[in-house]
Amino acid sequence: MKLLQVSDLHLSKNSPDEQNYSLSVLREIFQTAESTKCARILFCGDLFNTFPDLESLRSDFLKEISSYSGIVYFLPGNHEILEKKGNDNRYADYDWTSKVKVLDKTPFFLFEDNGIEFLSIPHQENYSELLLSPPQAKQTKLRIGLAHGTVSGMSFTGLSEEEEEGGSYLDPNLIQSLDLDYLAIGHLHKARMGTVGKCNVGYAGSSRVWRKGESGKRGGIFIYVDGSTIRTESVFWNSAGEYREIVVSLDTDGKPEESIETYLEGTNPNDWIVFRFVGYVDSMSEKQKFQEEVQRIWKSKFRILEFDPDESQITVIQHLSENEFVKQFLDKMNARKEQMDPSLWRHTRVTGIRLILEGKKNR
């Protein structure tokens, strides 16, 4: 049996562009599941960005599902409840057609499908009820869990990685007590795999670029079930694009070191592009010309193309390009450009100019 795990699509009607973009990714998810013969799709939370989005885009969701012949399991996350004011309706009370099984029963719901036990755990403020009334012992060879939240110890991936807010924490001891073989989980927007005891834990990450800074490819996870074994494989959505921050190093005369085409090499029309400028320059006039050209010719060719408003890494020093020490240093750096890592070369170049100028001040 082959399954497709996805999460955090955040279908949104915030703007026409946002709506069309998120629905295009949903369309690719269904088309991929159909073409690769996935019997089930596991939506592990935050399929919709808010409850009003769920109400408004449910019909669009059902139109897209017409291309898929399998069954969808929809587990609500922490976003589906946002802005759900004075509405006690269960998600399952809405018409989802026979193709969608809404797994909103708390504290859990245990069911069997093709000889596999599925244990669904929708997002909850805390999981004390699950601790007090755990599911029965496993009756089949495999038990797969669906959840939405943060598994303690799996959220931190570095100082630059922003944690997703608003979700509850799933204690590793709780996970081990559920006798799971695999936990398909949503909430964290960066894909990752881990283990809790004998249970493999997989975050598919967000299915699309939902906010600024979410770098890397967006996708899901194929889950292959064969007897008592589970194997996983990553899959990526072309329609989701990527978040790309492009650092433009300015020469001393203020001109970018590379052409626009070079900076945009390998990008996708669905990408979210952010240009950031760095360097020591005579003036910003050449940088402004570059920016205007990008706006005029390239902005319409990408989903989002913008410029970082923070220009604190540009230092303007009049007649800088005439400084002999700086000129000699740059000649040597240019001679080494092909032998050095590009990011290291840019960093060394900027640092060298700064040290030369500071040395001049201190003389």
Contact between residue 124 and residue 106 where contact means Cβ atoms under 8 Å apart: yes
Q: Give the model's pLDDT for residue 161.
A: 45
Which structural domain, as residue segments, surrounds residue 15? 2-236
Does residue 263 share a domain with residue 228? no
- Residue range 319-331: average pLDDT? 80
Do residues 118 and 37 share a domain? yes
List, in order, residues 6 or more apart from 210 with CB less than 8 Å away.
8, 10, 189
Can you tell me the distance from the alpha carbon of 108 to that of 130, in angstroms, rounded to the nearest whole number?
7
Whether residues 217 and 274 fall in one domain: no
Domain count across the chain: 2
172 and 254 in a single domain? The answer is no
pLDDT confidence tier of residue 362, bands split at 50, 70 and 90: low
- Report pTM: 0.88
pLDDT at res. 253: 86
CA distances from 21 to 72, 99, 319 (A): 21, 23, 47
| pLDDT cut 70: percent of the chain above it | 94
Assign residue 201 the CATH number of its domain. 3.60.21.10
- Residues 170, 299 within the same domain: no
Could you count the other beta carbons within 10 Å of the beta carbon of residue 158?
A: 6
Q: Average pLDDT in the 309-331 region?
A: 84
User: In this structure, are 232 and 247 located in the same domain?
Assistant: no
Residue 164 has a pLDDT of: 62
Domain stop point among 191, 221, 236:
236
Domain-ending residue, one of 236, 271, 300: 236
**b/e 208-228 (16+ beta carbons within 10 angstroms → b):** bbbeeebeebbbbbbbebeee
Q: Which residue type occupies 17?
A: D
Mean pLDDT, residues 260-274 taken together: 96
Distance of alpha carbon 268 from alpha carbon 162, whole angstroms: 24
> Is the model more confident about 335 or about 157?
335
Q: What percent of the chain has pLDDT over 90?
A: 70
Both structure tokens of 61: 């969701």
Give the up-direction half-sphere exposure of residue 298: CA atoms within 13 A in the CB hemisphere: 25
Verify that 71 and 199 share a domain, yes or no.
yes
> Ramachandran region of residue 296, left (φ > 0), alpha (ψ -120 to 50) or beta?
alpha
Q: Give CA torsion, residues 65, 118, 103, 183, to 10 deg.
A: -90
219, 236, 253 — which closes off a domain?
236
Residues 225 and 279 in one domain: no
Provide mean pLDDT across the span 306-317.
92
Per-residue pLDDT tens over the stretch 171-223: 899 999 999 999 999 999 999 999 999 999 999 999 999 999 999 999 999 99
Q: Taking the CB of residue 49, how many other CB atoms lie within 10 A of it?
A: 23
**What pairing do the DSSP bridges indicate for beta strands 229-236 and 219-226?**
antiparallel
Exposure of 75 by Cβ count < 10 A (0-12 exposed, 13-18 middle, 19+ buried)?
A: buried
Return the half-sphere exposure (C-beta side, CA atoms, 13 A cut-off) of residue 164: 26
pLDDT of residue 62: 96
pLDDT for 166 equals 63
C-alpha closest to that of 169 among 111, 232, 221, 121: 121
Q: 279 and 199 share a domain?
A: no
Q: Are 232 and 283 in the same domain? A: no
Element (H, E) at 179: none
- Would you say residue 14 has pLDDT above 50? yes
Same domain, residue pair 303 and 215: no
pLDDT of residue 324: 83
Residues 183 and 149 in one domain: yes
pLDDT tens for residues 111-168?
Answer: 999 999 999 999 988 888 888 889 999 999 999 999 999 998 776 544 344 456 666 8
List 199's β-bridge partners, or say none: 196
